[in-house]
Amino acid sequence: MSVHKEIKRVTTHILQEMKQRGEKISMLTAYDYSMATILDDAGLDVLLVGDSASNVMAGHETTLPITLDQMIYHAASVIRAVKRAFVVVDLPFGSYQGNSKEALNSAIRIMKESGAHGVKLEGGEEIIESVQRIITAGIPVMGHLGLTPQSIYKFGTYTVRAKEEEEANKLKSDVLALQAAGCFAIVLEKIPAALGKEATDSLNIPTIGIGAGPHCDGQVLVVNDMIGLTKGFKPRFLRQYVNLYEEIYGAAQAYIRDVKGLDFPNDKEQY
């Protein structure tokens, strides 16, 4: 399948059409201007300014510490790079769980101060009021179910979610509730492939999977994992397309060698 670069701007409407015609949606995370420029030029449909920035950009163990101001900084950097992709920004932990007014205020700050195109919230029925309020204000919302990293201390582990019937049933009713509330898409993270299919088939809006099997309407990965920057992180669902850790490590060593060996800068590399 070729990359649809003729699409001028990806919209929620275009993502819906992709589901209808069976074209898979490509999504990666992005946190900064340089990476977002490459990913947008390459033709990604959706860029997610994920709160995984807390892990891969800031070095925190979880996504919990990142703040709304920090998310806005990352999102504005990505937006400045993007010409085509639809850019979604995570509402960080603590910026929407209090009540729906707080959620709306946080979403409005993201939209106004970064220029993003939509926001993502983790959770189902328990955050429906917030989802509705944000959508009523005209802001597109992406849902996120299954493994929701902002609840890691409730789960206790990063293992596959919804393997048991009760949790699977809750997920099946949550996807329908998020769709009824007006979400334009839902991320499904680390759930059995069969459940990913069942949830996807039950919806008119697209699902975007990460460790949720091949039947989702699209796939998302954390870009730093996908390009091999996160050393030693190799969950089963991850396909690593290049090992940039090795490449950059090698380049850094070559640079050290050249500087210390008086090889850099040479005659042509000076004024």
Pick out residues in 141-200 that bind ligand KIV (CB under 6 A). 144, 187, 189
Which residue, 155 or 264, has its beta carbon nearer to ligand KIV?
Answer: 155
Is residue 45 a contact residue for ligand KIV (CB under 6 A)? Answer: no
Which residue, 222 or 226, has its beta carbon nearer to ligand KIV?
Answer: 222
Active site residue 189: yes
Q: How far is the CB of 122 from ligand KIV (least distance, A)?
A: 8
HSE value, Cβ hemisphere, 13 Å, CA-based, for 246: 7
Stretch that binds ligand KIV, among 32-40, 48-56, 70-78, 161-169 (CB under 6 A): 48-56
Is residue 206 a contact residue for ligand KIV (CB under 6 A)? Answer: no
Q: Is 45 marked within a binding site? A: no
Q: How far is the CB of 46 from ligand KIV (least distance, A)?
A: 10
Q: Is 90 marked within a binding site? A: yes
Q: Is 40 marked within a binding site? A: no
Is residue 220 a contact residue for ligand KIV (CB under 6 A)? Answer: yes
Q: How far is the CB of 209 from ligand KIV (least distance, A)?
A: 9
Residues with catalytic function: 189
Q: Which residues are documented as binding site?
A: 51-52, 90, 120, 122
